[in-house]
Structure 1
Amino acid sequence: MTAPAGPSSTSSPAIKICGLNRPDMIRTAIEAGATHLGFVHFAPSPRHVDHADLARLADGLPRGGPAKVLLTVDADWPVLDAAVDALGPDLLQLHGHETPERIDAVRSRYRLPVIKAAGIADAADIAALKPLAATADLLLLDARPPRDATRPGGLGQAFDWRLLSGAEFAAAIGQTPWWLAGGLTPATVADAITRTRPQGVDVSSGVESAPGVKDPAAIRAFVSAARAAFDLKT
Structure 2
Amino acid sequence: MADPLIIKICGIKTYDLLDTVIAAGADMVGFMHFQRSPRHVSIEDLGGLISAARGRIESCVVLVNPDNSCVAEVAALGPDWIQLHGPETPHRVEAIRAEAGVEILKALPIGSAEDVAQVGTFAAVADRVLLDAKPPKGADRPGGLGASFDWNLLESLDPALSFMLSGGLTPDNVAEAIGKVKPFGVDVSSGVETAPGVKNSKLIEAFIRNARAAG
- With normalisation by structure 2, the TM-score equals 0.95
1:187 equivalent to 2:172? Answer yes
Task: Quote the offset at 1:12 in angstroms.
Answer: 5.2
- Tell me, in whole angstroms, the C-alpha distance in 1 between the residues paired with 2:140 and 2:48: 28
- Tell me, in whole angstroms, the C-alpha distance in 2 between the residues paired with 1:93 and 1:58: 14
Moved over 4 A (4+): none
Question: Which residue of the other structure, out of 60, 63, 67, is the alignment partner of 1:72?
Answer: 63
- Tell me, in whole angstroms, the C-alpha distance in 2 between the residues paired with 1:130 and 1:12: 23
- Tell me, in whole angstroms, the C-alpha distance in 1 between the residues paired with 2:177 and 2:190: 16
RMSD: 1.3
SS at match of 1:89: coil
Output one character per residue of 1:145-169: Cα deviation in whole Å (capped at 9) or x when no partner: 122111001000001111112xx31
Question: Which residue of the other structure, out of 84, 91, 98, is the alignment partner of 1:108?
Answer: 98
Counterpart residue number, 2:192: 207
- 1:137, 1:177 within 8 Å by CA — same for their partners in 2? no
Q: How many residues align?
A: 213
Taking structure 1 as reference, are residues 114 and 175 closer, same or farther at Cα in structure 2, changes over 3 Å only?
farther
- Tell me, in whole angstroms, the C-alpha distance in 1 between the residues paired with 2:171 and 2:137: 28
Q: Percent identity?
A: 47
- 1:137, 1:176 within 8 Å by CA — same for their partners in 2? no
Q: What are the within-5 Å matches in structure 2 for residues 148-163 of structure 1?
A: 148-163=138-153
Query: Which has the larger displacement, 41-50 or 127-136?
Result: 127-136
- Which residue type is aligned with residue 190 of structure 2? S
Gap regions ≥5 residues in structure 1: 1-10
Counterpart residue number, 2:111: 121
- Tell me, in whole angstroms, the C-alpha distance in 1 between the residues paired with 2:166 and 2:144: 8
SS at match of 2:178: helix
SS at match of 1:60: helix
- Which residue type is aligned with residue 195 of structure 2? A
Task: Quote the offset at 1:191 in angstroms.
Answer: 0.7
1:47 equivalent to 2:35? Answer no
- 2:71, 2:96 within 8 Å by CA — same for their partners in 1? no
- Tell me, in whole angstroms, the C-alpha distance in 1 between the residues paired with 2:94 and 2:167: 25
- Tell me, in whole angstroms, the C-alpha distance in 2 between the residues paired with 1:57 and 1:146: 31
SS at match of 1:93: strand
SS at match of 1:128: helix
- With normalisation by structure 1, the TM-score equals 0.87
- Tell me, in whole angstroms, the C-alpha distance in 1 between the residues paired with 2:104 and 2:133: 19
- Tell me, in whole angstroms, the C-alpha distance in 2 between the residues paired with 1:179 and 1:136: 13
- Tell me, in whole angstroms, the C-alpha distance in 2 between the residues paired with 1:40 and 1:134: 24
